[in-house]
């Protein structure tokens, strides 16, 4: 059984209105040295918001989130940090268009399958 933490990745187009849609999951297990991000942006769901959105910028921000999670050089200096630091940085409370829920704990026998299960449950 593996212990893990996860957070839901949210798109908050108008921070002052506090409306959001779930666009992804980040799952981290320190003991297993595992971190995965799964993101899917539904442009159809974005139409629900009555505001102008810079879709290219949103996609770039979500891509940076994935690069940092994966630890690639293209993710910049934060992507070079150890897994716990990357997870804490990605899930830090912020007032921006890309936010996460508070981290939540869990247990599973298969971390990869758990990413998919959580994604299906929270993002669909």
The pLDDT mean for the chain works out to 93
Q: Contact 12/96 with Cβ under 8 angstroms?
A: yes
CA 77 vs. chain centroid, Å, equals 18
Instruction: Give the model's pLDDT for residue 113.
Output: 98
pLDDT digits (tens, 9 = 90+) for 2-28: 999 999 999 998 888 888 999 999 999
Distance CA 25, CA 91 (A): 11
Instruction: Give the model's pLDDT for residue 35.
Output: 97
User: Is the pLDDT at 95 greater than 80, yes or no?
Assistant: no
pLDDT digits (tens, 9 = 90+) for 66-83: 999 999 999 999 999 999
Instruction: Give the model's pLDDT for residue 51.
Output: 76
């Amino acid at each position: 059984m593996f212990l893990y933490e996860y957070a839901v990745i949210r798109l908050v187009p108008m921070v002052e209105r506090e409306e959001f849609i779930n666009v992804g999951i980040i799952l981290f297990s320190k003991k297993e040295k595992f971190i995965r991000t799964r993101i899917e942006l539904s442009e159809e769901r974005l139409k629900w918001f009555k505001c102008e959105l810079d879709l290219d910028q949103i996609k770039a921000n979500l891509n940076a989130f994935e690069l940092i999670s994966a630890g690639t050089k293209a993710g910049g200096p934060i992507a070079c940090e150890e897994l716990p630091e990357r997870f804490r940085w990605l899930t830090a409370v912020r007032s921006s268009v890309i936010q996460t829920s508070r981290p939540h704990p869990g247990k599973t026998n298969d971390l990869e399958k758990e990413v998919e299960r959580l994604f299906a449950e929270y993002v669909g």
